[in-house]
């Protein structure tokens, strides 16, 4: 995996040509500043012009040689120390060469202010060229290498962040898959237990419900999409409710209050099934005298804080309410809360309200995800 350098937030796409232009501009500016300082300090036009001449010839050659040497070192995969040593040798050699060249000019043109005929003066010229070569090597590194190093550091940081996010996403998907793997057998066993009671009492009805269960399992196990329209999930829950109502006739019934405007909203598959199962087993079926009632509702509500609509899906029963604290390890509620956390973070919540006349579990999620 790699990132394009245009991904770096600098306002404009990065390119080799742009960095080269900036580097050249920096070098020219520094050269002009050096000459200006020399002239202001000495008021010697000849010396200033000599320095300008030396730099105007030496700098392009030195910059080109250092860039070529750096490119060669990169292609040969040399280490940092070897690349630095190569730059020092190239800058020192070329600087000394230009120092000797300037000394030769001084022999012909004494106004350049190098005294002729002395080995000491030649040594000074070589030292002058070598020193300036090293100084200009540092200038080249600042103008051409440093911006690339900064860009590469940003690129590596972006790649590391992208890898971290992808790894986190993979972990979330793996956990979702694990939750579904646990949820679907859990649902299957409970549904089979519901049908088992009819095998002796009403074999014909048991066979019909087994066919219905087959339809439920086909949708639950073969659909690979994690998200599905709420309309499909409600249809699936209606068939699930049909199995439960057949298993507990005159004891359990369902009602549905689903607004048409939420049919296309996308929610995680099987998200509401554990809530329906809890409402049946821990609420409606525990109502004294029977007549257990489950009401499934879904609607949009406006959130002033977010400036947008939110989807509310609730499952309410008329059972005796929660008589004891909900176990932390209760699979159904834990699975719903964890799936909301993985999918929506802090914007997806599960509310649980219980009174002696019933319990209501409400899922509240953003409504931005819809089918077009």
- Per-residue pLDDT reduced to its tens digit, 199-244: 777 788 778 778 777 776 676 555 566 788 999 889 889 988 888 8
Question: Quick check: 8 pLDDT over 50?
Answer: no
User: In 3-state terms, the chain is what percent helix, strand and coil (to 5)?
Assistant: 65, 15, 20
The answer to whether the beta carbons of residues 341 and 350 sit under 8 Å apart is no
The residue with tokens 């939420």 is: 262
- Could you give the domains of the chain? 5-164 (no CATH), 197-366 (3.30.565.10)
Question: Quick check: 369 pLDDT over 50?
Answer: yes
3-state secondary structure (DSSP) of residue 130? helix
DSSP code per residue over 177-195: HHHHHHHHHHHHHHHHHHH
pLDDT band of residue 92 (cuts 50, 70, 90) is: confident
Element (H, E) at 227: strand 227-229
DSSP code per residue over 257-282: EE-GGGTTBEEETTSSHHHHHHHHHH
Q: Residue 359: left (phi > 0), alpha (psi -120 to 50), or beta?
A: beta
Nearest to 73 by CA among 62, 59, 88, 60: 88
pLDDT score at 201: 75
Average pLDDT over residues 134-161: 77
Sign of CA dihedral 17, 20, 26, 29: negative
pLDDT band of residue 78 (cuts 50, 70, 90) is: confident
pLDDT score at 297: 95
Residues 6+ apart with CB under 8 A from 242: 209, 212
What is the Cα–Cα distance from 173 to 164, expressed in whole angstroms?
Answer: 14
Nearest to 144 by CA among 74, 94, 50: 74
Question: Quick check: 359 pLDDT over 90?
Answer: yes
Helical packing angle, 273-282 and 331-344, nearest 10°: 160
Distance set, CA 33 to CA 37, 51, 55, 98, 130 (Å): 6, 12, 12, 21, 20
Mean pLDDT for the chain overall: 76
């Amino acid at each position: 995996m790699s990132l394009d350098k245009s991904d770096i937030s600098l306002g404009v796409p990065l390119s080799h040509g742009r960095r080269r232009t900036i580097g050249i501009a920096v070098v020219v500016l520094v050269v002009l500043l050096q000459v200006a300082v020399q002239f202001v300090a000495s008021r010697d036009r000849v010396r200033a012009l000599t320095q300008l001449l030396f730099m105007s010839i030496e700098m392009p050659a030195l910059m080109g040689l250092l860039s070529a040497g750096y490119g060669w070192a990169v292609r040969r995969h040399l280490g940092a120390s070897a690349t630095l040593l190569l730059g020092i040798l190239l800058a020192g050699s070329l600087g000394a060469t230009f120092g000797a060249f300037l000394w030769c000019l001084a022999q012909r043109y004494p106004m350049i202010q190098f005294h002729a005929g002395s080995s000491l003066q030649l040594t000074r010229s070589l030292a002058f060229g070598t020193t300036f070569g090293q100084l200009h090597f540092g200038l080249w590194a600042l103008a051409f290498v440093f911006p690339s190093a900064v860009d590469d550091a940003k690129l590596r940081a972006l790649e590391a962040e992208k890898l971290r996010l992808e790894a986190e996403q993979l972990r979330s998907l793996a956990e979702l898959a694990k939750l579904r793997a646990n949820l679907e057998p859990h649902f299957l066993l409970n549904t089979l237990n519901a049908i088992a009671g009819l095998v002796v009492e009403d074999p014909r009805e048991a066979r019909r419900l087994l066919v219905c269960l087959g339809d439920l399992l086909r949708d639950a196990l073969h659909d690979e999409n994690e998200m599905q329209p709420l309309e499909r999930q409600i249809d699936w829950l209606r068939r699930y409710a049909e199995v439960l109502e057949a298993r507990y006739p005159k004891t359990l019934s369902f009602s549905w209050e689903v607004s048409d405007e939420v049919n296309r909203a996308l929610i995680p598959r099987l998200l509401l099934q554990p809530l329906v199962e809890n409402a049946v087993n821990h609420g409606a079926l525990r109502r004294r005298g029977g007549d257990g009632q489950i009401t499934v509702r879904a609607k949009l509500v406006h959130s002033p804080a977010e400036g947008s609509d939110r989807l509310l899906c609730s499952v309410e029963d008329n059972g005796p309410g929660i008589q004891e604290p909900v176990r932390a390890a209760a699979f159904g509620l834990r699975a719903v809360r964890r799936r909301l956390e993985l999918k929506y973070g802090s914007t997806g919540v599960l509310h649980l309200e219980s009174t002696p006349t019933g319990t209501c579990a409400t899922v509240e999620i953003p409504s931005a995800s819809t089918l077009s």
